Amino acid sequence: MKTFDYVITDEVGLHARPAGMLVVEAKKYASDIMINKAGKKADAKKIMMLMTLGVKCNEEVTVEISGEDEEKAAVEMEKFFKENL
């Protein structure tokens, strides 16, 4: 399993538009991708689950990636977070 922490910098947090973009990006990989915020986890491939986390600007999330393409997925997902969230 690969993990990385990231502080959300989007001024409105992980709302509908960026959550939708995140789902599209996560679905590119076979690995399971989970977003963890304060002990609550959500599947990054399911927008409704992501929205229930209520992630706001300046809050930290942990991204957990496990599966057959976890190495590539971890690198690409971290890049996605830095460029979009």
Burial state string for 11-23 with b = 16 or more CB within 10 A and e = fewer than 16: eebbbeebbeebb
In degrees rounded to 5, what are phi and psi of residue 60? -95, 140
* CB neighbours of residue 29 within 10 Å: 20
The catalytically annotated residue of 15, 28, 56, 72 is 15
Question: What are the pLDDT digits (tens) for 52-78?
Answer: 999 999 999 999 999 999 999 999 999
Which residue ranges make up each domain of the chain?
2-84
Q: What is the per-residue pLDDT for 12?
A: 87
Question: What are the pLDDT digits (tens) for 8-59?
Answer: 998 888 888 999 999 999 999 999 999 999 999 999 999 999 999 999 999 9
Q: What is the per-residue pLDDT for 15?
A: 87
Second CATH level (architecture) for the domain 2-84: 2-Layer Sandwich (3.30)
15 is catalytic: yes
Measured between alpha carbons, how far apart are the two ends of the chain, in Å? 22
